[in-house]
Chains A and B, each alone.
Chain A
Amino acid sequence: MRDRLTTSMRASHVLALIFVVAALCLAAFGAATGDTFYLRLGTEALIFAGLALSVDLLLGYSGALSLGQALYFGIGAYVSALTLMKVPSFWLAMGAAFLVTLAAAIIGGLIANRVRGVYFALITFGLAQVFAKVVYNTRELGASDGMIGVPVIQIGLGPFSVSAASPAGFFLVVLGIIMGLYALTAYLLDTPFGRVLTALKANEKRVPFLGYSVWRARMAAYVFAGLVAGLSGALYPMLRGFVSPELMFFATSGNAVISVILGGVGTLIGAIYGSVLLVILKSIIGSWTEHHLIVIGLLFMACVMFLPKGMVGFVRPRIERLLGREPAAPEPAPPSSATIKSGSAA
């Protein structure tokens, strides 16, 4: 007998599979027609999807809204750029970004996890804002201009080698990494640790009585989310060849939150769909008017108010019903996030 969370995660995996197939089609089509623009745009959407994934891990599972997740994204990007300018090695850059983000997330987590709820949102907002301001004014890091001239690298994958300059090749590498992060996050949430996180969101006061440390679970979730953001950020300079303080600004964190809300909180795959949707919206609306924020803001507010489970929350119950045919119990298939959310008012 499967529980609802497992059923809905399986439904997410089906959506993830559809996403990968669609992405592979785009890559094949792009490679065949020699397209650069759309593949690069898609790669960027995927990189920011990693950031959205980390926001969803915090908001959708431990129930903590981070308004400054771009901090770790930016740290990952800067460390990766600095490393690549010294030694143009993909794995070294990713490793350095991993270690520095790990350290930063532990420090940030020690500060931010002293508080919860709305204070957590404000303190993450402040942390990112202050750090971005310091980077913005540090000449060694290129100050407000950021750093340009990150070399184009060859990414060694065992016997193969992919150039970051190849649109389709790098798109596939990024797709692999982001979907890998998705799979890892989904796996982690299926472990006992993940269930503690879900319990935290449902009722934080009861968790200690079951013998689990609330602080440790929140800290672990925070550090893991920081790492997901940092590793995604590390890919950014490989794509664009530069980094700038804008990567850490509130706009970047805000976009990740918008992606998560549009896609669906607590669904993981929703963050990835949401990020792609946001990029598509921006480029479609952007071709008519530069004031795309009005439309995105309205859509975002409508989602918060009327569609709290986002796009995926709309689609997923149908898939769950398809998947749930085999178990005997004919559940009315309420989406999992509802089960997770109920009780947080207590």
Chain B
Amino acid sequence: MSPIDYLQFVLAPQVVNGLALGVAVVLVALGLTIIFGMLDVINMSHGEFYAIGAYVALAMGAAGIGFWFLLVLVPILMVPLGMAAERLLIRPVFDSKDRHVTTLLVTFGLALIVEDVLKVIFGPNTQRPPTPIPGATDLFGIIVPNYRLFLIAVGALIVAGVAYVVYRTRLGAMVRAAAFDRNMAASLGVPVSLVYAGTFAFGVGLAGLAGVLLAPIYSVFPTMGRDFILLAFTVVIVGGMGSIWGAVVAGLLLTQVQALASLVISPVWTDPIVFGTMVAFLVFRPQGLFGRLGHA
């Protein structure tokens, strides 16, 4: 095979598929990293919120609601759920001595329950919603499913939108201020408690949105949240806990490493490589690629 052919038929499709996976991972990791950066909470149930989003979209899609409408409706429906979770579960233990461990354990418990509840309601089997955008496009000789192109474009839009809200609006400034110093922010009139609940709900809404977008590609099943969560945590650590740009760069980078490494070695060994990257970052640059939210 000539180098040009290799580039076109082996390397390029792998890169494009890796990019689609990367966008998917970034979407899941985005909510995770915002919740950590803001509340200092490792949300172990993030994958389950993602699954809830996918199931709600599946059920409403079956009821005849169009995909485009779902893209807006599902994240909005997830917000009260996130608010309730923050108020009822995170808030009571938020000021306990070991916040990291306690909140991690509470959300772990929540994950167990949600997974089983999904099993009760929807059954244990894998379901696949129809692809909203059928067909494929020939991009310079690479055949790419249209939906993946759409996913990449929408993912970029969402990331840009979130970054705009967090870094360029008054609301985002309030969020960053509360993340940096909650007492100071409170005395300057930021409704910190509401900001906390809102941020958590925002992260949960993002997880739900990821669920709607990724369900047509990765199918819907009760334990679907588990598949992404290790990769999402890796992305959050490598990118820097709470950094939006960090999550984007790390998500795209790690999935490309994974995609390209699987050309050379057995895909089984790509996980250790991705994980090895995380370990290397923890050892040499524990704060990740970028600093955390609110700490510039």
Contact = CB atoms under 8 A, between A and B. Distances in A.
B220 interface: no
A21 interface: no
A130 interface: yes
B112 A293 contact: yes
Nearest to A338: B97
Contacts of A118: 42, 100-101, 104
B263 interface: no
B75 to A, nearest CB: 25
Interface residues of B, number: 40
A32 interface: no
A292 B112 CA distance: 10
A114 B279 CA distance: 9
Interface string A300-329: 110011001000000000000000000000
A134 B101 contact: no
A311 to B, nearest CB: 16
Nearest to A115: B282
B147 interface: no
B157 interface: no
Interface stretch (B116-124, B162-170, B195-203): B116-124
A305 B92 CA distance: 7
A67 to B, nearest CB: 8
B272 interface: yes
Interface in B231-271: 233-234, 237, 266, 268-269, 271
B286 interface: yes
A179 interface: no
Interface stretch (A11-19, A22-30, A120-128, A217-225): A120-128
Nearest to B96: A308
A254 to B, nearest CB: 7
A304 B120 contact: no
A260 to B, nearest CB: 10
A297 B110 CA distance: 7
Nearest 5 interchain pairs by C-beta: A297-B112, A301-B109, A297-B113, A293-B116, A137-B268
Interface of A: 59, 63, 65, 111, 114-115, 117-119, 121-123, 125-127, 129-130, 133-134, 137, 250, 254, 257, 261, 291-294, 296-298, 300-301, 304-305, 308, 341-342, 344-345
